[in-house]
Amino acid sequence: MAERGIRGVAAVAGIGQTAYAKHLGRSEYDMALEAIINACSDAGIAPREIDGLVRYGMEQVDEEHLVSALGDPPVRWFAGTPFGGGGSASVLVVAATAIAAGMADTVLVYRARARGRRSGYGAHPHEGGRYWEKVPAALAGLNQWHVPQGLVSAFQEMAMISMRHRLEFGTTDDHYADVAIAFRNHAIRNPHAVMRAPMTRADHHASRLIAEPLRLFDCNIETDGACALIVTSTERARDLRHPPAVIRAGTMAAGSHHIRLSTLFARPWDDDSAARAGRQLFAMADCRPPDIDVAFFYDFFTSMVLIGLEQYGFCGRGEGGPFAADGGLAWPDGRLICNTNGGQLSEAFIHGFNNTIEAVRQIRGTSTAQVAECRLAFVAGGNSDPTGAVILERA
């Protein structure tokens, strides 16, 4: 039974960002504020109108940081989503839920990240950088079952998941390259993108192994930057500056997490978080995967895009590789045009939020790889985590 849920209640009315770069030399706090003020300006609202905040639980720029820097807006509702990238679409679900419930009218959703190569390799907790290099000597969490065995970070955990997908379905390096090259070609058109040099199949295959089967060009880039979105009621958004990107549907689903492989592998991946969120999503939206005009997968790794295609029903189980082959995900003629900004593989890694901003651009008709007559945009969070997804619609 399809629930109406948050269908159509709220819309993204404003988007804002900083520049994206391998090194900006700025604090996450400073970058967050630039992106937030840009998003308010884009929406045509005053920062003091913000009365709701949604962020990642792991976000370092917290509610107090923001209200004390934004002129003390009357924030009356705030929430976070757990599990990092798994929540990159869920934040919009949480924002829309607040609006539907009447708990807030103008909700700010944001993420700031200093993760570029020179931003934080030191041990200092405020320098950003790679979380896994800052692991404590005594592990109380579930990473105690991975890290002491030499499985120290997400990309190595994804390698384990990706290898299994190859073993079961025959997915290949060429399939991975099809994803990486399509998204790189999108990035070349996008002035915001960090990685804009052309990539050939040979370049992909020659990039160094990081954790087999993943190569450097299968991994997201590490960058500095921030993103912000303003979510408000669809009714109000119609009166603001830009055409609203209506949240036609949005769902979340709890399930496995990549840091907990023993339980992840005990579950069929076509019945894990992403697949469950997807089934609810298309029911709420009252549409089907072939109706989607442009899709944004959480492209932390090429292989996980292929698995996401399967989990969300854009192709059958094990068919992600062949679906992506021969420009299957590429603008302008792909079977399913994906990540038109270049994604996190080539534009920037703002923990998924940069993909959401690009989805809004597609709905507005302002992408540098604009899909013709784009009406429905699909956005998914990290598909190895408790996750969520949304469908944005041109009003």
Partner 1 sequence: MSDRPPPPLPAVGPDNAPFYEAAARGELRFQRCTPCRAWRHYPRPTCPACLSRDFTWDLASGRGRVYTWTIVHGPTLPAFQDQLPYNVVDVLLDEGIHFVSQVLDCPPEAIRIDLPVAAVFVPVSDEITLVKFRRAD
Residues that bind partner 1 (CB under 8 A): 132-133, 135-140, 142, 144-153, 156, 159-161, 163-164, 167, 208-214, 260-263, 265-266
For residue 338, the cross-strand partners are 295
**Which structure tokens are listed for 54?**
């949604």
**Cα 354–355–360 angle (5° rounding)?**
95
| Least separation in angstroms between CB 209 and partner 1 | 4
- Which CB atom, from 135 or from 287, has the smaller least distance to partner 1? 135
- Which CB atom, from 88 or from 383, has the smaller least distance to partner 1? 383
**Which structure tokens are listed for 121?**
């390799």
| Least separation in angstroms between CB 165 and partner 1 | 9
- Which CB atom, from 58 or from 160, has the smaller least distance to partner 1? 160
Distance CA 42, CA 118 (A): 31
| Least separation in angstroms between CB 132 and partner 1 | 8
For residue 111, the cross-strand partners are 227
- Which CB atom, from 34 or from 157, has the smaller least distance to partner 1? 157
- Which CB atom, from 248 or from 257, has the smaller least distance to partner 1? 257
Distance CA 338, CA 327 (A): 10
Distance CA 218, CA 307 (A): 14
DSSP-assigned letters across all residues of 242-291 = S--EEEEEEEEE----TT-HHHHTTS-GGGSHHHHHHHHHHHHHT--GGG
Is 353 within 8 Å of 229 (Cβ atoms)?
yes
Distance CA 189, CA 100 (A): 37
| Least separation in angstroms between CB 134 and partner 1 | 10
| Least separation in angstroms between CB 146 and partner 1 | 6
- Which CB atom, from 166 or from 242, has the smaller least distance to partner 1? 166
| Least separation in angstroms between CB 118 and partner 1 | 15
